[in-house]
Structure 1
Amino acid sequence: MDLNRKKLLENFSTKRILIPVFIGLTVIGYMFYRNNNLANLQHLKNAKPFWLVMTMVVLVVRDAGYIYRIRHITEKVLTWRKSLDVIMLWEFASCVLPSVAGGSTVAAFIINKEGIPLGKSLAYVMVTAMLDNLFFLIAVPLVLLFTQGEVFPDVEALPESLKAGLEVAFTISYVLIAFYASLMWYALFRNPKAVKRLFLRVTSVGFLKKWRAAAYKHGTELVWASRQLKGYSFGYWSRACLSTIFVWTARYYVINCLIAAFTNIGFQDHMLIFSRNLIYKVVLLVAITPGGAGFAEIAFPTFFGKWLGSFTTVIVLLYRIATYYLYLIFGSIFLPRWVARVFGAQVKPELEPELSAK
């Protein structure tokens, strides 16, 4: 895991934070300008207080669930305070790094610096990734069943070829996630050395050779992680699975609460909104911008504009504030305190101005 204090601070530099903020707010500003609906902001006063409160409750509950899960998965080696730091910085990393990269490498480094051996740190992060993927793989067939195939947005402005392409792209993504989750399960619990050999063979031919070193490193990490996960009880895994279901259900339900705050929707609508959120998140996985900035704002009306009409842009702004910009702020607060606590006197004087600026 090629990460150190200097590299960590580079990942969380002011420039890295401002770029996604600029992209996201520029897109939202253009959406307001194009739709000429700035006047809709005055309707914020008509929001239903219950659902606004529920939005905040769901956000708090979601983070509490993440904190509980990482503490449980690390066998309570992390205290509640350290678990809070890990989750806030993990979310921060996910906001400032491209969606395809995610914050997993940073998360493993953070957990390791909390005093947990590197092999176990990698194992815990891989377990959370595998559980997250399993939730998605199980949830998708269920929502397709409950929504009777209406999960994909039916927007008249989109040509039929694009609508069909969205379904095909989602199907391919689902298959790839299923393959990745299966490979991770096999590597972590069955035969990590075989998976490592597979990585090396695949990267031993043609243009793939340039990734051979990375494949060797990742394969070695899988072997390390596999050794750490032997002997855990059924209770350990059941709690890990239940907490995963809990946090992802809460994570997806934020949009439901925001939409319900400004329009009247029934149970079936709640199910459909929740279901479309699954597809929406898959779209964001391929985003090349930090935290999906720009992509998240552009794609939102396609999936949820049906319920909001001209008010969609306002909800996009509220949604990104609650689930994205808020965590940029939290991360900027937690990072310097965490660095000071973990590295202490090791923090070089020339880094102090940058940390205080955060």
Structure 2
Amino acid sequence: MSSIYVFDGHNDAVQFMVDYKSTGRDFMVRSEMGHLDLPRAREGRLAGGLFAMHASPEHEPVDDLTITRDGYEVRYADAVHPDYARGQIDGQLSAMRGLIERSNGQIRLATSVNDIRTAQMDAAFAVVLHIEGAEAIGPDFGYLDALYDAGLRSLGIVWSRPNIFGYGVPFAYPRSPDTGPGLTDLGKSLVKRCNALGIMIDVSHLNERGFWDVAALSTAPLVATHACAHALCPSTRNLTDRQLDAIRDTDGVIGLNLAVNDVRPDGHLEDDTPLDLVVRHIDYLITRIGADRVALGSDFDGAVVPRQIKEASGMPHLIDAMRKNEFDELTLRKFAYDNWLRVFGLTWR
């Protein structure tokens, strides 16, 4: 099995933590539920990751999935009220702080590349705070500044719903990511403010026009923390070759999303997806944009992942599958760990 350490570009674990909701799981204790906790992270040689804070819908959607002749469409998610979103983000931030405190040094908040490297050398798990969907941030950006002071270093402008900053992509297959308007004027101002603070901007969940708005404005490398190639799986959540080329040209990074419906050419939500399909996707991305610009963005606790991986403890299976497909050790280390730290170093202040 692999001895390579992994830094993961995206997970939704905070949504399921007992620190956030009393019915949740204890991140410090190994569970058979979900994908990620500290024991399973250690078994899978995960050294840390971006932990996404996200406001769930105020009302769970009913009958939002439509099966089409050749795929699926999910009804565009409703916008959420900023006050409602802020309450959830405050709760998740408090939960992460509480978890870090009670871990007695086993888990550390990281706000710099040096923090991540030091944690890894000390056998501690590094948490980088990310927000997925900026609904909680008001038009004056005061809450953004407060989140930055609290440790936020990565931001996705939208989830797959509209907000005052822009428009996400509704989930659909097969379909282009060009699904509507791009960033609003406030969204463009948010890009500039994130650049000024040194917060990494995540283009995952943005529609194509929003992507190009970020590309035109941002002074930082383009980053998608969890996405795949549209050429191999024509899901709205995946990036076209032209978008991938823009990531390459800005020396950015794409985190390979393990969500099976965004990996499989047929878009099916089936966990028996073979690792060969995942490796094929990685190979396509590396061939297109280079080994320095492709990393891991698992979407643990937010997606259905291949059964051979199953959970965080199964990450060595993917590394070994890449090795069997003749990826050299330098490329493996870049994909698993180094590429995230490289782009953080180009973005954070």
TM-score, normalization: structure 1? 0.25
The structure carrying a bigger strand percent of its residues is 2
Pair member with larger Rg: 1
TM-score, normalization: structure 2? 0.25
